[in-house]
Chain A
């Protein structure tokens, strides 16, 4: 056996397992460290506390005349409060049995006994435009509700998607009737 200096095992193969362990441990520490630093840098872009704190709103629905709607600003988004006519309600109920893309009955979209009040988030579920009221248009391809100007999604008098690219019905926000005519949204 050749003479060797202490610590210099020139003729010995390096212990591969120990080297692998060191490589893997170092890589794991580096990846973990990078991830730990990256997360705050990424997460800071989420809505800040003051944005999240946007509170609920109250509204006296009595102010909306029959057959009209108001558009309120709720969490920086348009909120439709529509006072539906008996004809609109009838059409909406009739639509319960149609072939719906996002099935929901009209009754499930209003509060019990308050079918004349339809409260919707006015954000098209396609790409976020605000649909305009279609003026009760019932021509073929129209359902008397809303029409989105952006890519032509058509919603019925219950705010359900009937035609066009949007996948879902207009969302009904969380709200309660605090009194007979006052709603609290959010």
Chain B
């Protein structure tokens, strides 16, 4: 970790420990970490995510004590958890709701990063590690979703593992290898349980790297200007432990509303039917957090190209630090970028909405327009095509070009200056001079 340590061992025992394993020093420095004083609530989602990970691991380890990962036993062992295990229903609902809450938090966290340019130098690796966490999270959630061995679990597993089969030549052998049979079956469930147990700990390790990478340059902040002096920062504790704690408390209220009042809102009713290899559910959809990608996959009427687009959509997130040419970090000073960003957020929601509907369904019911290529224009397949096009244009065209062509607003010199130079309260002897603000 960067910066010098302020820790002074006070007792002989502490000194003894400190010279052998400076773990107390590590903790103290972590709490003392100089943090920009102007972080807003969008910065609390990191802490919220840590809370989510711990929640999933604790409830997951408990579920695993009662869960039977066999083709014949999985479905009924979950019924047992729901009916017979003391508080089993609570622990399972926290785990199922927790997966969704985790994704709510990670999406907000990612959009925060895009808006405030948190991925820009010197935080590119921090961003890449974050993107890797997101990828492993999606895999973990997918493996978890297969475990109840309901009919949606089964067919979801079948569709997702077939996506890999689109790879030319070796694809089908990879799918066979992945599922361990001619098709998804009991061996698939068994190995997915093993991986579902493993992956959260890989996430935990990546989170460690993420925080390490964060503590080298320190946090960015809503203004996007670097920390210039000690007066720009406050120690992490108590300022941000309290702020994060407050945000986590609010988040837990939302969490509890789902757990106690609508635990099935985010689950699929088809998953209350045991897996049936002969009957595909009439309306097959992934969990809500994967819907935008699902819409991109279906937007393209060709198997391989659809899969390439899906992979490309995720690759764009990884590539973002190298696509953005703007030297201004925060979009607070980039009015045009801000506009395209908000369209992008809406675009992602539209994609999610499309993913939840049948491709041939009409967007405006009862209106038949004209047939373009293979479908009527007033269908979800065309809406997803338009939305998918904007998704890629945003990353691959707007982000690189806008940074070179836009005129950003004047950026404050330091974190303290915009506060101190506020016209309503000109402080005596302010260090920053207003003329320089443009």
- A residues lining the B interface (CB < 8 Å): 42, 45-48, 51, 54, 71, 73, 75-78, 122-123, 125-130, 132, 148-152, 163-167
The residues of A that contact B183 with a CB separation of less than 8 Å are: 75-77, 123, 128
Interface string of B336-376 (1 = CB under 8 A from A): 00000000000000000000001110000000000000100
Q: Is the pair A45, B177 in contact by a Cβ cutoff of 8 Å?
A: yes
Top 4 closest A-B pairs, CB basis? A127-B162, A128-B162, A127-B159, A129-B280
CB distance from A13 to the nearest CB of B (A): 39
In the bound complex, CA of A128 to CA of B182 (Å): 11
The residues of B that contact A73 with a CB separation of less than 8 Å are: 277-278
Q: Is the pair B163, A127 in contact by a Cβ cutoff of 8 Å?
A: yes
Interface string of B155-194 (1 = CB under 8 A from A): 1001101110100000000001110111101010001000
Contacts A77-B183, A129-B280 given; does A151 touch B298 at CB 8 Å = yes
Q: Is the pair B177, A77 in contact by a Cβ cutoff of 8 Å?
A: no
The residues of A that contact B300 with a CB separation of less than 8 Å are: 165
Partner of B298, one of A42, A46, A165: A165
CB distance from A143 to the nearest CB of B (A): 14
In the bound complex, CA of A54 to CA of B187 (Å): 14
- B residues lining the A interface (CB < 8 Å): 155, 158-159, 161-163, 165, 176-178, 180-183, 185, 187, 191, 277-284, 298, 300-304, 306, 358-360, 374
In the bound complex, CA of A151 to CA of B158 (Å): 14
Contacts A45-B191, A54-B182, A165-B300 given; does A152 touch B280 at CB 8 Å = no
The residues of A that contact B185 with a CB separation of less than 8 Å are: 51, 76
Q: Is the pair B278, A150 in contact by a Cβ cutoff of 8 Å?
A: no
Q: Is the pair B359, A152 in contact by a Cβ cutoff of 8 Å?
A: yes
Q: Is the pair B155, A129 in contact by a Cβ cutoff of 8 Å?
A: yes
In the bound complex, CA of A128 to CA of B277 (Å): 11
Residue of A42, A76, A125 with most partner-chain B CB within 10 A: A76
Q: Can you list 27 A-B contacts with CB-CB less than 8 angstroms, sorted by A residue number?
A: A45-B180, A46-B176, A46-B180, A47-B180, A47-B182, A71-B278, A75-B182, A75-B183, A76-B182, A76-B183, A76-B277, A77-B277, A127-B163, A127-B165, A128-B159, A129-B280, A130-B280, A132-B280, A148-B280, A149-B281, A150-B284, A152-B359, A152-B360, A163-B374, A165-B301, A167-B303, A167-B304
CB distance from B313 to the nearest CB of A (A): 17
The residues of B that contact A71 with a CB separation of less than 8 Å are: 278
The residues of A that contact B165 with a CB separation of less than 8 Å are: 127-128
In the bound complex, CA of A47 to CA of B176 (Å): 7
The residues of B that contact A46 with a CB separation of less than 8 Å are: 176-177, 180
In the bound complex, CA of A75 to CA of B176 (Å): 13
In the bound complex, CA of A54 to CA of B306 (Å): 33
In the bound complex, CA of A130 to CA of B282 (Å): 10
In the bound complex, CA of A42 to CA of B280 (Å): 31
The residues of A that contact B301 with a CB separation of less than 8 Å are: 164-165
In the bound complex, CA of A51 to CA of B303 (Å): 28
CB distance from A46 to the nearest CB of B (A): 5
In the bound complex, CA of A117 to CA of B180 (Å): 32
The residues of A that contact B176 with a CB separation of less than 8 Å are: 46-47
Contacts A78-B277, A167-B303 given; does A126 touch B178 at CB 8 Å = no
CB distance from B297 to the nearest CB of A (A): 8
CB distance from A71 to the nearest CB of B (A): 5
In the bound complex, CA of A75 to CA of B281 (Å): 20
CB distance from A118 to the nearest CB of B (A): 18
Q: Is the pair B302, A150 in contact by a Cβ cutoff of 8 Å?
A: no
Contacts A45-B180, A128-B183, A151-B359 given; does A165 touch B278 at CB 8 Å = no
The residues of A that contact B304 with a CB separation of less than 8 Å are: 167
The residues of A that contact B162 with a CB separation of less than 8 Å are: 126-128
In the bound complex, CA of A152 to CA of B280 (Å): 13
In the bound complex, CA of A73 to CA of B282 (Å): 19
In the bound complex, CA of A30 to CA of B304 (Å): 37
Partner of B187, one of A51, A123, A163: A51
The residues of B that contact A167 with a CB separation of less than 8 Å are: 302-304
Residue of B298, B304, B358 with most partner-chain A CB within 10 A: B298
Q: Is the pair A150, B159 in contact by a Cβ cutoff of 8 Å?
A: yes
Q: Is the pair A165, B177 in contact by a Cβ cutoff of 8 Å?
A: no
In the bound complex, CA of A71 to CA of B276 (Å): 12
CB distance from A93 to the nearest CB of B (A): 25
Q: Is the pair A165, B306 in contact by a Cβ cutoff of 8 Å?
A: yes
Q: What residue in chain B is nearest A79 (Cβ atoms)? A: B278
Partner of B181, one of A51, A123, A152: A51
The residues of B that contact A126 with a CB separation of less than 8 Å are: 162, 303
Q: Is the pair A51, B180 in contact by a Cβ cutoff of 8 Å?
A: yes
In the bound complex, CA of A123 to CA of B282 (Å): 15
The residues of A that contact B155 with a CB separation of less than 8 Å are: 129, 150
The residues of B that contact A127 with a CB separation of less than 8 Å are: 158-159, 162-163, 165, 303
Q: What residue in chain A is nearest B294 (Cβ atoms)? A: A151
The residues of A that contact B180 with a CB separation of less than 8 Å are: 45-48, 51
In the bound complex, CA of A128 to CA of B171 (Å): 13
Q: What residue in chain B is nearest A46 (Cβ atoms)? A: B177
In the bound complex, CA of A54 to CA of B183 (Å): 12
The residues of A that contact B359 with a CB separation of less than 8 Å are: 151-152
